[in-house]
């Protein structure tokens, strides 16, 4: 019947931010990517279809697109053309890999120049989880100054690893302005005088999104990664925590009590 509002889908322009946990997670992830990219002096664009951010150079996941609604077959070409224009594919002025995240299955994007990464699982840890004691000797501190940020960044680049950022120096992943954003939090894990683990999370829209947990190779399988994740979880224990993981990393989150919700679709494209 004409004049009636459309049935709610969960991704309309009028959909409330808190409609579902997925909606809240999407908006949290869009906000965090924009905050990271702004700290690096990058650009962003957002409408009801997607949230795009571009650092203009290799910078981890700072140059990423996030679909805010499903892309149907008859809109693929138009949507991807706008994405391509924003990121300047084919231009010599920008470089670095661009990642495109979708909470839903997508049509085949390979004819449009994209490569499939895979289908990472999305996890939820309900509010109120209690952290176990950290491994003996591990000291976890919240990053609150530029010196500690530089140490955090060195560990994150080496441990994740972001191979294309090795040797880049300070500012490879984050600008100093990120320290002023209380929604965006970082933790550094050390044993003695050795920094060996890093964690990163964004707190917004009523949940915590764990964006990164990385441990140096020589320090893995000692419980440090789980302890760093718990530091993020307990930053605001009264709200749920969500994260995307790799299949290799999934067992850690299963043991922590995270619940698998769905699998996303992840694409990348070079420029």
Distance in angstroms (rounded) separating the CA atoms of residues 222 and 38: 35
Look at residues 57, 88, 121 and tell me which one is the last residue of a structural domain: 121
Tokens 């070079």 locate to: 270
Same domain for 96 and 63? yes
Q: Are residues 168 and 239 in the same domain?
A: yes
The answer to whether residue 13 is domain-embedded is: no
Which domain covers residue 140, as residue numbers? 125-261
User: In what order do the strands lie in the sheet containing 265-269?
Assistant: 43-46, 50-54, 64-67, 98-102, 265-269, 115-118
Ordered per-residue pLDDT tens for the chain, 271 residues: 567 888 999 999 899 999 999 999 999 999 999 999 999 999 999 999 999 999 999 999 999 999 999 998 888 999 999 999 999 998 777 788 999 999 999 999 999 999 999 999 999 999 999 999 999 999 999 999 999 999 999 999 999 999 889 888 899 999 999 999 999 999 999 999 999 999 999 999 999 999 999 999 999 999 999 999 999 999 999 999 999 999 999 999 999 999 999 999 999 999 8
Tell me if 270 is assigned to some domain.
no
- Give DSSP secondary structure letters for 220-255: -SSSHHHHHHHHHHTTSTTS-EEEE--TTTHHHHHH
Q: Which of 124, 125, 127 is nearest to 261 (CA)?
A: 124
Domain-located, residue 10: no
Nearest alpha carbon to residue 190 among 171, 167, 216: 216
138 & 254 share domain:
yes
**DSSP code, position 134:** P
Cα torsion 223, 226, 232, 236: sign: negative
What 3-state class would DSSP assign to 163?
A: helix
- The CATH number covering residue 239 comes to 3.40.630.30
pLDDT for the residue numbered 90: 82
Q: Are 128 and 134 in contact (CB under 8 A)?
A: no
| Cβ contact 257:125 at 8 Å | yes
Residue matched to tokens 């790799």: 246
| Residue finishing a domain among 121, 150, 179 | 121
Paired tokens of 122: 């999305």
DSSP-derived letter for residue 86 is H
Total count of domains within the chain: 2
Q: What is the pLDDT of residue 2?
A: 64
Extended beta strands in 6-104, E state:
43-46, 50-54, 64-67, 98-102
Same domain, 179 and 102: no
Q: Which residue has the tokens 């530091």?
A: 231
Closest CA to 51 of 103, 10, 97, 110: 103
Residues 191, 111 within the same domain: no
Query: Rounded distance, CA 64 to CA 200, Å?
Result: 17
**Assigned domain for 5 exists:** no
What's the pLDDT score for residue 74? 84
């Amino acid at each position: 019947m004409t004049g009636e509002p459309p049935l709610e889908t969960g991704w309309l322009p009028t959909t409330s931010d808190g409609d579902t946990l997925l909606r809240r997670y999407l908006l949290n992830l869009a906000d965090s990517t924009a905050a990271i990219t702004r700290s690096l002096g990058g650009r962003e664009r957002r409408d009801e279809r997607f949230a795009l951010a571009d650092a203009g150079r290799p910078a981890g996941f700072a140059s990423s697109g996030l679909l805010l609604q499903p892309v149907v077959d008859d809109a693929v070409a138009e949507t991807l053309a706008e994405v391509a224009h924003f990121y300047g594919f084919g231009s010599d002025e920008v470089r670095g890999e661009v990642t495109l995240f979708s909470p839903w299955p997508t049509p085949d994007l390979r004819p449009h120049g994209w490569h499939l990464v895979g289908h990472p699982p999305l996890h939820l840890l309900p509010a109120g989880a209690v952290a176990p004691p950290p491994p003996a000797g591990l000291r976890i501190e919240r990053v609150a100054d530029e010196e500690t940020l530089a140490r955090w960044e060195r560990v994150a680049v080496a441990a994740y690893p972001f191979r294309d950022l090795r040797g880049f120096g300070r500012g490879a992943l984050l600008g100093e302005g990120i320290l002023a954003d209380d929604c965006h939090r970082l933790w550094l894990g050390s044993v003695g005088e050795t920094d060996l683990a890093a964690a990163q999370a964004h707190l917004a829209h009523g949940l915590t999104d764990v964006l990164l947990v990385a441990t140096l190779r020589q320090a893995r399988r000692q419980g440090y990664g789980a302890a760093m994740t718990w530091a993020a979880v307990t930053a605001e224990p009264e709200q749920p925590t969500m994260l995307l993981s790799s299949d290799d990393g999934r067992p850690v989150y299963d043991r922590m009590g995270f619940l698998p919700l769905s699998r996303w679709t992840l694409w990348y494209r070079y420029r």
